[in-house]
Structure 1
Amino acid sequence: MDTEGHTAGQDDSGAEPVRRFAVVREEATIAVSRGGRGRPLVLCPGLFSTQADLAGLAGALRAHFDVLTFDLRGHGRSSGAQRYRFASFLADLEAVMSELGRGSFPSAPVMAGHSMGADLVLHYAAAHPGAAAGLVLLDGANPLPEPFLSGIEPAELRAMAEGMQAALAEVRGTERQVLLDVDDFVELNVEIDRLRVRLPDRLRGLELPVHVIASTAMAGRGDDDQTRWRNANWRAGFERLGAELPQAEVTWLDADHGLVVTHADRIAEMILEAFGPDARAGA
């Protein structure tokens, strides 16, 4: 691995100078950004989010944290790759932490992730004890009692993926692009669903502080039976996490799955309250 292409700039908020560079791997080139001051914090995007989508949250956090964030393969400014599976994305996080975490941070960072990014930071922390000072799970890494996709026929799931890809076509070529195809979306969602049902095995023995910030309307605000069931299943999953991890704190926001965009300032405040300088003794 290697780093290259160091540049200085501003994030979208214009608040803190941000250095942009790359971690070069055999499979993909991962675009990384770092800026801010204070305690180190790694912010991991999810399956449908990029650094550009998280710019508001990252910008708000940089006033109090040294924030490192990046684009997963096939996302944003990172290159495409042949494989898009959970293990591949986890390898991207591993590469960033290996290349930039070793000797780069004065202490173990807080690790935050949105959606699938939450699953990535949790799996990373479980596999590397002591590598993270705490976790912030932003509407992800939910140990679901039942798969989120229960009751969805393969044809319906594929149609949902096609709709998502059609929407993403509008941002192709921008810092918000996601290059995965329909098959990638379908297979990844099924894979993540299965991983989340088995998450309690990963949670056991996890001793670091965990703060969950969850949406009340992850599946949307529809009043149909399926939407209500999905939102109830989502809530039950985080209640399950709280039972598995006594040190975990779960906070609910009246929001949908896009809470990292719509509630960026509030989420930054909550992370500061949980892991900022005044909370360091407890974290």
Structure 2
Amino acid sequence: MTTEPSAPGPVRHSTVHHDGVTIPVSRGGRGRPLVLCPGLNSTQAGLRELAALLRRDHDVVTFDLRGHGLAPAADRYSFDAFLSDLAAVQAALRLPSPPVLVGYSLGADLAVHHAAEHPGDIAGLVLIDGANPLPEPFIAEADLREFRALADGLAARQLAERAEDGTRGAALTAQDIFALSLEIDVVRAALLDRYRRVDCPVRMIMSTSIAGDRAEGRAPRHNRLWRAGVERLIRARPQTSVSWLDAGHTLAFTHAPAIAEIVRGAA
């Protein structure tokens, strides 16, 4: 048992065994239950500042998806496989009351699907720069080369991090990351239907510059598309609350205090 800096009380560590993988889980804090779901290429260690801030007034659960962080490699990686990781953690927790489910990036998409499939089990959703029902694919034909290069860099970085941590198994390959990025586009094309089945309050925290603030290249189109997706959701589900942060897609790491305050307000 270890103590998280700036967090009230100890953080307890456990594992959930599911679908041939071992999911590392951490829990600590006080107050209302909250589950923090990371996304593609992110981990509970990377979200530690946000988790520590939330633990001041929430009983916070964090975990790593298969093939990420301290979780070992898996035989398969897909949206449904990651969704099953979240469901397995949620089922194992036995929380005293339905939690607020906070998801970052892909984790936000997983949160919406989980809430839609388990009505009554979630008290509220806070979606950080994800779960955006885009009106058209984010990755167009002209973007393929750039996203392949991005996947190459992310895979190399994750492999180095896992070697340093001594985590069992290889990280996601560049092809895994690229294929998952394309799959997320497909998932988001049908996301409005999932939102219609969500029976709890939804608050979104979105970046104004998900693709950066350059005036050329893919950034302008992607930033406009990101805002258009949110506007599409508001038309379909006007009770959804949205906060925009002047930030890029790394806002969960660079703007943790602001996000923690919004989560407290949502709760």
Fold shared per TM-score above 0.5: yes
CA contact (8 A) 2:8 2:30 kept: no
Q: Which moved more, 1:195-204 or 1:55-64?
A: 195-204
Secondary structure at the counterpart of residue 142 of structure 2: coil
Structure 1 letter corresponding to 2:99:
P
Counterpart in 1 of 2:96?
Answer: 106
What's the offset of the Cα at 1:110?
0.4
- Amino-acid identity (%): 50
Shift of the 265–259 alpha-carbon distance from structure 1 to 2, 3 Å rule, reads: same
Q: Does 1:253 align with 2:242?
A: no
What's the offset of the Cα at 1:105?
1.6
Of the candidates 160, 166, 178, which is equivalent to residue 186 of structure 1? 178
Structure 2 letter corresponding to 1:18:
V
Gap runs ≥5 in structure 1? 1-7, 276-283
Return the TM-score normalized by structure 1: 0.89
CA contact (8 A) 1:9 1:19 kept: yes
Secondary structure at the counterpart of residue 186 of structure 1: helix
Structure 2 letter corresponding to 1:261:
F
CA contact (8 A) 2:7 2:53 kept: no
Structure 1 letter corresponding to 2:118:
H
CA contact (8 A) 1:12 1:56 kept: no
What's the offset of the Cα at 1:15?
4.7
Q: Does 1:167 align with 2:157?
A: yes
Shift of the 147–176 alpha-carbon distance from structure 1 to 2, 3 Å rule, reads: farther
- Separation (CA, whole Å) in 1 of partners of 2:72 and 2:160: 18
Structure 2 letter corresponding to 1:263:
H
Q: Does 1:139 align with 2:135?
A: no
> How many corresponding residue pairs?
265
CA contact (8 A) 1:75 1:176 kept: no
Shift of the 30–230 alpha-carbon distance from structure 1 to 2, 3 Å rule, reads: same
Counterpart in 2 of 1:74?
Answer: 67
Shift of the 142–199 alpha-carbon distance from structure 1 to 2, 3 Å rule, reads: same
Return the TM-score normalized by structure 2: 0.94
**Aligned-CA RMSD value:** 1.7
CA contact (8 A) 1:211 1:249 kept: yes
Structure 2 letter corresponding to 1:121:
A
Shift of the 204–79 alpha-carbon distance from structure 1 to 2, 3 Å rule, reads: same
Structure 1 letter corresponding to 2:213:
R
- Separation (CA, whole Å) in 1 of partners of 2:61 and 2:95: 10
Counterpart in 2 of 1:119?
Answer: 109
Structural mapping, 1:1-283, within 5 Å: 8-13=1-6, 15-100=8-93, 104-152=94-142, 154-174=144-164, 179-275=171-267
- Separation (CA, whole Å) in 1 of partners of 2:32 and 2:166: 27
Shift of the 97–270 alpha-carbon distance from structure 1 to 2, 3 Å rule, reads: same
- Separation (CA, whole Å) in 2 of partners of 1:88 and 1:133: 24
- Separation (CA, whole Å) in 2 of partners of 1:254 and 1:269: 15
Q: Which moved more, 1:176-185 or 1:78-87?
A: 176-185
Counterpart in 2 of 1:4?
Answer: none
What's the offset of the Cα at 1:152?
3.1
What's the offset of the Cα at 1:97?
1.0
Shift of the 119–175 alpha-carbon distance from structure 1 to 2, 3 Å rule, reads: farther
Shift of the 269–156 alpha-carbon distance from structure 1 to 2, 3 Å rule, reads: closer
- Separation (CA, whole Å) in 2 of partners of 1:159 and 1:105: 41
